[in-house]
Amino acid sequence: MSLELVSQTKSFGGWHKQYNHASSALGVSMRFAIFLPPQAQSGEKVPVLYWLSGLTCTDENFMQKAGAQRIAAELGIAIVAPDTSPRGDNVANDEGYDLGQGAGFYVNATEAPWRDHYRMYDYVVDELPKLIEATFPVSQKRAIAGHSMGGHGALMISLRNPDRYCSASAFSPISNPSDCPWGRKAFSAYLGGDESTWSQYDTTELLRNSQSKVPLRVDQGLADTFLTEQLQPEKLLGAAAESDCSLQLEQHEGYDHSYFFIASFIEDQLKFHHQYLVTE
């Protein structure tokens, strides 16, 4: 597995780096970013948080706007941010910002033309961690977090893989993609018209029937213009009440859907993950 270094920038005593690599899951070249805290330079294996971004994002939005590096450096946590879909001239796309390139929804597509490359679930769950753990001084203590489409992806992936993650969190997740416009558009295209196949990728559906012990935290701004139509965090609370899962929902008056909101509470989310990442 060969990696091409694209950039490296010192930050808070650690390093922000971007790499390209050939992805076998996706069949294209993918770029990801990693922040390695100062503790990683002494050979110590540090725990790692995977960050899944939202619609229209690349590996750069979170790394440039969330301001996570200072606290990640202090806590000794590496952060890995993949792109949000396969990309390229030979990769299927759509005119809308909410489907195709930049909008992979972290599922394995079964429908043409998407199924040729859109296998973001396999990429995030299997291929990327394998690559990261074989290349960088990181331990197998993993957490997963994300925003909006990526917040949904993080919760969904943790519920499907409770043995792989110590904790999971989301900012403003699309809680029930089978029942909102963004999710229905994407799932119809990627997974087809048989809605019974959607529940395997729908956090609310998974949560309702889950016995996962992975602690979950959600931060939601109450001035988010997508709150009622697309996000619907009350669905998560309802589903968690029917299950054995621990879900902490933090609601924040006046905050919107943007990275200004994420930057305001990323410290709280990283400290939430840290308590589980450092437990034996």
Ligand X SMILES: N[C@@H](CCC(=O)N[C@@H](CSC=O)C(=O)NCC(=O)O)C(=O)O
Q: Known catalytic residues?
A: 148, 224, 257
What strands, in cross-sheet order, belong to the sheet with 216-221?
3-11, 14-23, 28-36, 78-82, 46-52, 138-147, 167-171, 216-221, 247-252
Question: Does residue 155 bind ligand X (CB under 6 A)?
Answer: no
Sole binder of ligand X in the list 33, 34, 55, 236 (CB under 6 A): 55
Instruction: Report the site for ligand X in 12-51 (rule: CB under 6 A).
Output: none
Residue span 242-261 as binding mask against ligand X, x where in contact by CB under 6 A, dash where not: ---------------xxx--
Indicate which single residue of 23, 39, 148, 232 sits in contact with ligand X (rule: CB under 6 A). 148
Q: How many residues are given for the chain? A: 280
Mask for 171-200, x = binds ligand X (CB under 6 A): ------------------------------
Report if residue 212 touches ligand X, rule: CB under 6 A.
no
Furthest-apart CA atoms within the chain: distance in Å: 52
Residues ≥6 apart with Cβ < 8 Å to 46: 36, 37, 39, 40, 76, 77, 78, 137, 138, 139
Q: Indicate whether 170 belongs to the interface with ligand X (CB under 6 A).
A: no
The least distance separating ligand X from the CB of residue 202, rounded to whole angstroms, comes to 15
Task: Compare residues 116 and 179 and give the one whose CB is closer to ligand X.
Answer: 179
Q: Given the complex with ligand X, which of 18 and 148 has the nearer CB atom?
A: 148
Strand partners for 173: none
Rounded to whole angstroms, the Cα distance separating 275 from 13 reads: 22
The structure tokens listed for 213 are 């012990």
Which of 93, 96, 95, 97 lies closest to 109 in space, CA to CA? 93
Nearer to ligand X among residue 18 and residue 212 (C-beta): 18
Residue 97 C-beta: closest distance to ligand X, Å: 5
What does the block give as tokens for 123?
Answer: 């990429």
Tokens of 230: 């697309």
Pick one of 57, 120, 154, 155: the residue that binds ligand X (CB under 6 A): 57
Q: Nearest approach, Cβ of 231 to ligand X (angstroms)?
A: 9
Q: Which is nearer to ligand X, 56 or 188 (CB)?
A: 56
Residue 264, interface with ligand X (CB under 6 A)? no
Q: Is 54 in the site for ligand X (CB under 6 A)?
A: yes
Binds ligand X (CB under 6 A): choice among 3, 12, 45, 56: 56
Q: Using CB under 6 A as the criterion, what x/- string covers residues 90-119 for binding ligand X?
A: -------x----------------------
- Which residues contribute to the site for ligand X (CB under 6 A)? 54-57, 61, 65, 97, 147-149, 257-259
